[in-house]
Amino acid sequence: MARSGGLQGRRPVVGVMGAGEEATAEAIASAEALGRALAQRGWVVLSGGRDCGVMAAVSRGAAAVEGHLVVGVLPDTGASACSSLDVLIPTGLGQARNWINVLASDAVVVCGGGGAGTASEACHAIKAGKPLFLLQAPELWSAFFLSLDQRVAVCATLTGLLAGLESLFGAIKDEPPP
Predicted local distance difference test score (pLDDT) of residue 79:
77
Domain membership flag for residue 14:
no
Predicted local distance difference test score (pLDDT) of residue 8:
76
Domain membership flag for residue 134:
yes
Domain membership flag for residue 12:
no
Domain membership flag for residue 6:
no
Q: Strands 70-74 and 87-90, how do they pair?
A: parallel
Q: Which of 101, 105, 104 is nearest to 114 (CA)?
A: 101
CATH code (residue 84): 3.40.50.450
CA-only gyration radius of the chain, Å: 15
Domain membership flag for residue 40:
yes
- Count how many domains the chain has: 1
Q: Which residues of the chain have pLDDT under 50?
A: 1-5, 173-178
Cα–Cα separations (whole angstroms), residue 152 to 18, 101, 120: 16, 18, 15
CA distance 37 to 90: 26
Domain membership flag for residue 4:
no
Domain membership flag for residue 13:
no
* pLDDT tens-digit readout, 108-149: 999 999 999 999 999 999 999 999 999 999 999 999 999 999
Predicted local distance difference test score (pLDDT) of residue 59:
98
Domain that residue 71 falls in: 19-173
**CB 89 within 8 Å of CB 121:** no
Domain membership flag for residue 10:
no
Predicted local distance difference test score (pLDDT) of residue 6:
58
